[in-house]
Amino acid sequence: MRKRLYSIIEVYSAENKAGQWYDTLMLVVIITSLVPLAFKTTNTVFEIIDIVSTAIFIIDYLLRWVTADYKLEIKSPAAFVLYPFTPMAFIDLVVILTALPIVGNGFKVLKAFRLMRTLRVVRTMKIARYSKSLIIIIGVLKKERKSLGAVATLAVAYILIAALVIFNIEPDSFNNFFDAVYWATVSLTTVGYGDIYPTSSIGRIVTMLSSLFGIAIVALPSGIITGGYLSRINENNSKEEKINNKENEK
C-alpha cells in the first residue's frame, strides 16, 4: 500500500497515470494558493482558498513523510526522522507554517504581518517538484554548471572592469564606485534606465561598447540552457519511444 502510494506521489513515468493526475492536481493547488498574494486585501473566497490549499499541503506532507523510507532508500525508522530535514520537506513545512494563524499572530506582534505574506511566496518553490519542465531545466543547470560558471565569472569581471574605467573617465557623473557598478550592470543587460549616464564623448563610447559586449554575454547562458534543454527533451522522447516500442512488441 505504501509503495503504491509512493509511486503516485513521487515516481514519475509516462505509464503512471495516477501520478500524472496527482502532479497536475498539486500544480493547480499551488498556483491557486498564490492568487490571494496578488491582492492587498482579503475576502471570504481568498480565506477559503488559503484554508483548502493549506489542508492539501498538510496531507501531501504527511503522505510523503509516511513513505520517506522509499524516498531516502533507508529501510529503517531513521528515514522518518531524517525526512523533515531534507530540502523539499523543509520547504513544504515552511509553506504550511506560514499559513497557520498561530504563526501569523506571532509575526503580527513583531509588526511584520506583511512579511508573513511575503514568506508564503515560497510556495512557488514547490512547483519544482511537480513540473517536469522545471526538473529538466534544473538538470540542465547542474550539467552545464561549469560553462555557466565561466560565463558568470566573465560577466562579473566585465562589470568590475567597466565600472573602474567609467568611474575614472567620468568621476563627476558617479557619486561612488557602487554607482559605477550599478551603471555597468545596467549596461551589461542593455536595460538602460537612464538615471545614471555618462556625459562626455569618451564615456558615451565606453557605454556603447559596454552595451554591445553585454549582448554577447547575455546571449551565452541563454544558448547554453536552450541547447541543454532541447538535448534533454530529445533524450526523454527517445526513451519514451523505446518503452512504447517494447510494449507494442509484447
Which residues, given as ranges, of the chain have pLDDT below 50? Answer: 107-117
> Closest Cα to residue 132, out of 225, 9, 20?
20
Residues spanned by CATH 1.10.287.70 within the chain? 145-249
Q: Is the pTM of this model over 0.85?
A: no
Q: In the structure grid, which three cell numbers stand for residue 35, read together?
A: 492568487
Task: Compute the distance between CA of residue 12 and CA of residue 7 in angstroms, rounded to an integer.
Answer: 7
User: Which pLDDT score is estimated for 59?
Assistant: 92
Residues spanned by CATH 1.20.120 within the chain? 2-130
User: Which pLDDT score is estimated for 65?
Assistant: 92
User: Which pLDDT score is estimated for 45?
Assistant: 92
User: Which pLDDT score is estimated for 13?
Assistant: 60
User: Which pLDDT score is estimated for 27?
Assistant: 83
Q: What is the pLDDT of residues 223-236, one digit of tens each?
A: 888 888 888 888 77
Helical ranges in the chain per DSSP H: 2-9, 17-34, 44-66, 68-72, 78-82, 87-97, 101-109, 113-119, 123-130, 132-143, 145-169, 177-188, 201-249
User: Which pLDDT score is estimated for 112?
Assistant: 41
| Fold that domain 145-249 belongs to in CATH | Helix Hairpins (1.10.287)
User: Which pLDDT score is estimated for 125?
Assistant: 64
Q: Which CATH architecture has domain 2-130?
A: Up-down Bundle (1.20)
Task: Compute the distance between CA of residue 18 and CA of residue 23 in angstroms, rounded to an integer.
Answer: 9
User: Which pLDDT score is estimated for 219?
Assistant: 83
User: Which pLDDT score is estimated for 108?
Assistant: 42
Task: Compute the distance between CA of residue 13 and CA of residue 8 in angstroms, rounded to an integer.
Answer: 10
Task: Compute the distance between CA of residue 25 and CA of residue 9 in angstroms, rounded to an integer.
Answer: 11
